[in-house]
Chains A and B, each alone.
Chain A
Amino acid sequence: MAVDTIEEKLATRHAQSQLEAKLAFYKRIGLIGLIIFAVALPFLVSDFRTFQFTRVLYISIAVLGLNILSGYNGQFSLGHGAFIALGAYVAAIMMDRWGVPYYLTIIPAGLIGFIFGFLIGLPARRLEGLYLALATFGLALATPQILKKFEIITMGVQGIVVDKPEVPFGLPISQDQWLYFFTLMILLVLFWAARNLLRARTGRAFVAIRDHHMAAESMGVNAGFYKPLAFAIGGAYAGVAGALATITIQFVAPDSFGVFLSITLLVGSVIGGIASIGGAIFGGIAIVFIPNVAEEISKAAPWAIYGVILILFMYAMPSGIMGFINMLWRGYVKRLLTRT
C-alpha cells in the first residue's frame, strides 16, 4: 500500500480511527454482555454450581492481585496464598470473636492485606526474579506453621467456623445465590478499580519498572515506593479474596493455606495471562475447574492429569488465554486495516 500524498495519508488515518472507535464499541458491548451473563448465571445452574462459581469469583480477585504484582510490576510471588490466609483470618476472627457482620469484614481484610503487603514488599525490593519467587515460596511454606503456632489467635488446627450470611431485604433468592451476587459486586468494583489504576500514573510506573528498572528510575519513577506499593495492592486484593473465602466456605483452618494454594494462584495467573485484567477470570475458572476435569479423566491419579494439563497448556499458549485472545484479536484488526 503505497501512500504518497498527505490527503491519502489523512484518509487512511481517518479510516483507522473510525475503525478503532468501532472496535472499542464492540468491546464494550461484549463486556456488558458478559456482565449480564454473570448476573444471570446463578439462576441457570444448581446451588452447588453457584457455590463453585462464587469460588471462581473470589479466586479471580486474588489472581488479579497477583497479576498486578507479577504481570504488571514483574515481581514474581509464589507466596500469594499468605495474603489470602491473612484476609481469611481477619474476617473469621472479626465475625467469630467480635460478632462483626460479614459485609464489614471486607474492607479491614483488604486494608490489613495492603499494610502487610507493603511490609513484605520492602525487603522484596532487593530481590530479582527467581530469588523473589523463592523467598515468597518460603513464605507460602511457612504460612500454615505460623498459623498453627499462634494458636491463641487462630484456634490452631481446629480452625474457626462462622455463620452463613442470611439473604438481606427479603430477596427471593437462596443464600448461595446471594453470596454469589455479593462476591460479584465486589469483583466488579475491584476490577474496575484495577483497570483505572493500571491506566493511570501508578500503573504506568509499575509497567515502566517491570520493563526497564533503571530507565524508569532515571525518568523519575520512584521504584523504592512503587515496588512495595504493587505488593500492597496485590496483598489488598488477596486479603479481600480471603475474607470472601471465609464468608463463602464458612470455615478457616491453617492447612487450607499451604504451598499448594499459592502455587495454584500462580498457575491460574499464568494460564489466564499474567499481564492482563480479564485473564484473572480465566485464571479463576481454571483453578476451580481444572481439578474437576482432571478427576473425571482419572480417578486414580487426578493430580498427574492436572500436571499434564498444565504442561500441555504452556506448550499451546505460553502467554496464557488472554495472550492468545489478544493475538487473535490483533490478527483480526490487522486484517480489517489492510482491507480498508
Chain B
Amino acid sequence: MARPKGATALRPLRGRDPLGLRRALAGWLLPALVGAMALLAALAIAGAAGAGRLAERWEQAAAGQVIVQVPPAQAEAALARLRALPGVAEATVVAEDRLRALLAPWLGEVPGLPLPVMIELRLVERAEEAALREAAAAIPGAQVERRGEAVTQALRVAEGVRGLAFVLLGIIAAVAVALVAVATRAGLAARRETIEILHELGARDADIAGRFAARLALLCAAGALGGLAVALPALWLLAEAAIPVALSRPAAASDLPWAALALLPPAAAGIGWLTARLAVGAWLRRLP
C-alpha cells in the first residue's frame, strides 16, 4: 500500500505523547504503591538470602565439631587413633572438671559418679564423616556425637523462612500485577476516545499498547527504585545487627543480596510493561 515519502513501514508511532498518557497516568499513587511492594520484596529477598547464609554458616560451624565419648580405659589409645585420622585438625580431651561443671546443674555435685572421657574433635573442611565413624567403631565402647541437633532445628527454621519469603514474593508480584491492571484500566477509561481516534487513523494495536506499556513500565520502575532506596538503609542496619549471629565478621554490605535487589526495578518495569501490554491489547481487540 502506498505511503507518503519519508515514511518507514515498521517504525512505531512517533510523537511526544499522542495519547496524553503523561496526564492520564500521572500522580504518585501507582509509583508509591509499587514502591511499597518493592520495599516488601527487598525485605523478603534479603530475609531469604540472610536465612540461607546463616544456615550455611551454622551448618559449617557444626560440621567442624564432633564429640567422641569413650570409656576412660580407652582414652589414650582413642585419642592417638583419632589424632591420626587425616580429617581431624585437632583432638582434645574435655577436662573432667569442666565436664562435671557442665553436668552439675542437672545432677548436682556427685563426686563418685564415673564419667566417660569426652574427646572434642575439630574437623578440617570436607572431612569424611564415614571414615571418622569407622575409626570410632574400632574403639571399644566409643560413641560419636555431632553437635548437630540444635543446628538441624535452626536449619529447618531457616528453610521455613526462605520458603515463606518466596511465597511472599509471589504475593507481592500478584498484587503488583493487579495494581498495574487497575491503573491501565483507569488510563483506558480516561483516553478511550483518543485511542479510538488513533485506531481509526490507522495506528497499530501494538503501537497503542506499547505506549501504555512503556508509560506503566516507567512508573513501576520509578516506584521500585524509590522503594529500594528506602529499603537499603534498613537492610544495612539489619545486616549489621545480624553480625553476632552470623558467625563471621564481614557481614553487612557484603552479605546483602545485591544482584537480586538490583533486579527489583527491572522486574517491576517488566511486570508493568507486560501487564499493560496484555490489558490494552485485549481491550483493543474489541475495536473493529
Binding partners A and B: no
- Which residues of A are in contact with B by a Cβ distance under 8 Å? none
